[in-house]
Structure 1
């Protein structure tokens, strides 16, 4: 009972003391009576019970003995899903709830009695966050990304605590775990610009990013458009699930020939677009030929057989055409149309005034 008493919050310490006196006083007097040491063997218990009842009545009137708000507040504090840190006016931690202990395990060793910035400075190397902890600004907020075993995202809100005279007595920091919401938001944002089947840029995102790239530096930039040959036949013969595999197969091969700075997007259906910054016209055509050749000599395995795909390419370059995305896409599309009209599985490139067949180079066989 002593340990329990020591853990009692000071907000209702008087209530507990009165209850203890009211319980222990009759027990003590009964024990004294049983020992036979009361004057004239008088039983004092009825008198003591009258006094304890009067004590309870006085406590109810004066101290709101059975007032539930401190108990209710304590229960809410203990069972909140958000972590709560209570600081005094010197930023020293004076209390925290179980949720905060789960979020910040170091509180078990370095908790009450330590300054809040000292607690966090050893586990979070983010000067802006430590500065925020030291700031006295009321109702301030901070979004924190904390690398534990994996990234966790927290939203922190700090507010001042006032006494009855309106003076600042301390500070309360509420920590909300928003990791799930943040990851969901990132996934939704990713889906807004990524093609779900191939995990490359979708059409609108590819156009937007290529436009930004051309506005920054349009010199030596090439646009490649290519289309899988006879894709409808693949779908009709093997089924749409094999058609999806063909799309992923093509994307996987292309990514082996591209750099981080290159932009790659699904332009629509079985058509793809690539932007190659800082590549000459000849380099762009050569990369297109490497991809075309890799398609031609590779295959992917279905349940029934091995399937090969080929593709037709169209190339446009800022050295030959205006550095306007719409114009480059149009010229690349026209070159692609020439490739398909001239027999497919080949590359045509825009020269600005005409379209030329890019002659196949002697390339080593692609790995199977």
Structure 2
């Protein structure tokens, strides 16, 4: 029975579970910045354990169920979710860097994340471009497409933090992360335009407005974090030749933070419409971690932006968002626990 259950879990494992790593990691980092180590450290250890388990299951699926995995990776609907593997690995790498000062493991996770990103991004784009049958924009596009942006910017953040420990000059390292930062922002502009077009000019069912739409905000929040991290690093690194692009990076960072702030009330109102007006039940599902991650990311990016631009008046916003993110993480974790308990109870019932 247990062997059959494990095989079923491996065969059907959706990569969206790596959004648990993203959400838990960013909330842990936010708690660390606020000095709440009693919260930050346990979440870090939880992330380590869950990440290893997910990697083992993913490796099993890759080895034994590769055709089904490839079909998902090259589909418009499920393919973008694979970028959570990249973002989750990079966020865990940032945890190793900030919480444990373990540069070697952080660097190992960066290398792994870059390799997975290259594999996923080109397999996904080639597969969807050459597909003979394609969905309409209404059916094929949603907030998960912005996980591409999240994955790129997560690499930019971790790469920037590890610049002094990379096996080449700081100039090359920072130039690479600046390029990643700019490419990520470009993809955001492209995809968010299509998403807004879909939302504004095509019918939207309440059932389809799922938690991943919070990534509309989370993608620009992590862009802000990448820009703030680059700003601080370039300012303190001598002789990189990148000082001239600092005003541009700062401008994009403020634009990204403003955009993320604009999204929050709109998404909250649409959530009220979904659950309060259309009575869609509020039940746990793995995509809800895609809601927790943007909340935690908004807290962290606001904190780092206030430091990078010397704007302390932003700090209270960050503190308030931390508690919102902690509550959201706790409620989602309780939902996960309840789902596991129900699943275990059903297995114990006799046929």
Verify same fold: TM over 0.5: no
User: Larger C-alpha radius of gyration, 1 or 2?
Assistant: 1
Tell me which of the two structures has the higher relative contact order, counting C-alpha pairs closer than 8 angstroms and 6 or more residues apart.
2
TM-score, normalised to structure 2's length? 0.23
Bigger helix fraction: 2
TM-score, normalised to structure 1's length? 0.23
